[in-house]
Structure 1
């Protein structure tokens, strides 16, 4: 029978999030229902609430989630009730042109549930990033539910479903950071701190954190930053060059997504260095660069989609790193909150007071 559960819903653009009763259908073929245990409050959820990403209101928010399988649909053979999972917003289809070329992390037809969850009056809900996990239960495609070690704390484990994976992957997968490399990360929020942690885990020798907030820079050191630069009163390009004997870094990661931070990352690279863009820009953002500089400095500019990850491969690995004490996922959890505190968590996010608020259900 369908489930009636509590959920955090953005009913219309800019309106405060409301806790409503929603209807979650039984899983169809290739689908599962997940009993959500914890879900992080990500900046992407705020983008949905404010209409920055789309206008498909009402939205069921939440996507950085961990929980247990409650029910499975026909044809689901690799998951069963009780399995402990983290939800992914990329579930490669296996048959699109990217998957067929052996690049499933770029899948062009990622799987999601085929039927919507609804309000009690039948109004369909659009799920944030195809998940919608600010809810006691949610319906997803089976491929979106990745089994992990049940020893992992759900408040921490769920965060690899988006922000941690995006940042870690930006450094390790997109950036290819390796032993002895120098790295600069602009923006020390959840994604930036995860990029710092990933760079350190992969052997970077020098990791420079750049932000305008000293509190965030102090926190970046906890994730492994060897140097910090407050760019509010200092030219960050000059500071990074000074820290690298005038050469610049091998990999510069823009985890902010503003034209000025993109330009900073471009110019703080060494010759033939790599710029990785992982911060999500506003639709109207534009960048101008001298084309001669683009040519003469060499290297590459790459955007990083979800850290170029393969969830079935990367989620269990990151959880193992956490359980081995090598990746401090607990440090990303600023506070745990109830479902009716999501709106307050958005306000704290805007003020820069939290790394991640996590809803516990």
Structure 2
């Protein structure tokens, strides 16, 4: 029987979100209904509200979520009601050319639920990143559910569903940060701080946080930054070189995704160093670099999709590290709010007043 629940809906570009009745259908083959316990307010949700992703309104927002499986559809064998899960938006297919080559984190045909959640009048909803978890319940593909240790608090566990995993993965998976490496992270919001935490976890000896906001630089120290650079006051490239014996960092992570920050990242790395772009640019952004500089500096320039993560591999491991006290995830949670507070949370995010607001259900 379909479920009627409350959910946060974005009906049109830049319009304030509303809390409305959502109809969640029974799960179809390969699908699951999940009772949402907590969901982080991510900048991607604000992008949807602003029309920056696509124009497939109305959207059911929310995607950084932890919850409990309530029902499963036909053919689902690895989930059962009562399982505690973190939702992900990269449910791999196992069949595409990336999966067949043993690189499922690049899967080109990820799964989402086929059945549609709707408004009470039957209007189909587009769930943010195929999840739509600013709701009391949501419908997802079973592959979007990753079982983790239920000892992890939902407000913390759900953050692995997007921003925190993107940052940690940018450092560990994409950037291959190793013991003794030097790392610079440009942009110290949630993703950047997660990249700092991941670099610390990987054993980096020098971790340089770069931002224009002094508050964010102070927060970055809590996650493992050994040095900070106030980008408004100094030449970022020169300062990173000064802090790395004149060479530049082994890995530079751009967690902003703008042409000026990417250029800083490109020139702030050591010869044969690695640049990782994990901040998401907008469609109109372009960059021009001397091709000789691309050639002569060597190394690698990489983009990081969702931290190049494999949820079934990475989520349980990171939750275990958190429970062991080796990974500080709890400090990402700035405040706990209700579904009715999401619009105000977007405003606080816009002004840089929070690291993560988390909706509790």
- The answer to whether the superposition gives a TM-score over 0.5 is yes
Aligned-partner Cα distance in 2 for 1:291–1:77: 51
Cα deviation 1:88-119 (Å, max 9, x = unaligned): 00000011111111110011110110111000
Aligned-partner Cα distance in 2 for 1:245–1:179: 18
Aligned to 2:257: 257
Aligned-partner Cα distance in 2 for 1:106–1:245: 36
Unaligned runs of 5+ in 1: none
* Distance apart, 1:245 and its partner CA: 1.1
State the superposition RMSD in angstroms: 0.5
Aligned-partner Cα distance in 2 for 1:205–1:60: 42
Question: Secondary structure of 1:320's match?
Answer: helix
* Distance apart, 1:132 and its partner CA: 0.3
* Distance apart, 1:233 and its partner CA: 1.3
Cα deviation 1:223-251 (Å, max 9, x = unaligned): 00000001011111111011111100000
Give the aligned length.
361
Scaled by the length of structure 2, what TM-score is found? 1.00
Aligned-partner Cα distance in 1 for 2:55–2:235: 38
Cα deviation 1:193-252 (Å, max 9, x = unaligned): 000000110110100000001110000000000000010111111110111111000000
Aligned to 2:309: 309
Cα deviation 1:285-332 (Å, max 9, x = unaligned): 111111111111111100000000000000000100110001111100
Question: Secondary structure of 2:251's match?
Answer: strand
Aligned-partner Cα distance in 2 for 1:309–1:21: 33
Q: How does 1:66-105 map to 2 (within 5 A)?
A: 66-105=66-105
Aligned to 1:162: 162
* Distance apart, 1:66 and its partner CA: 0.2
Q: Structure 1: which 4+ aligned runs deviate by more than 6 Å?
A: none
Aligned-partner Cα distance in 2 for 1:139–1:346: 24
Scaled by the length of structure 1, what TM-score is found? 1.00
Cα deviation 1:7-54 (Å, max 9, x = unaligned): 000011110010000100000111000000000000000000000010
Aligned-partner Cα distance in 2 for 1:88–1:20: 24
Q: How does 1:1-361 map to 2 (within 5 A)?
A: 1-361=1-361
Question: Secondary structure of 1:228's match?
Answer: strand
Cα deviation 1:320-361 (Å, max 9, x = unaligned): 011000111110000000001000000000000000000001
Aligned-partner Cα distance in 2 for 1:169–1:69: 26
Aligned-partner Cα distance in 2 for 1:244–1:313: 33
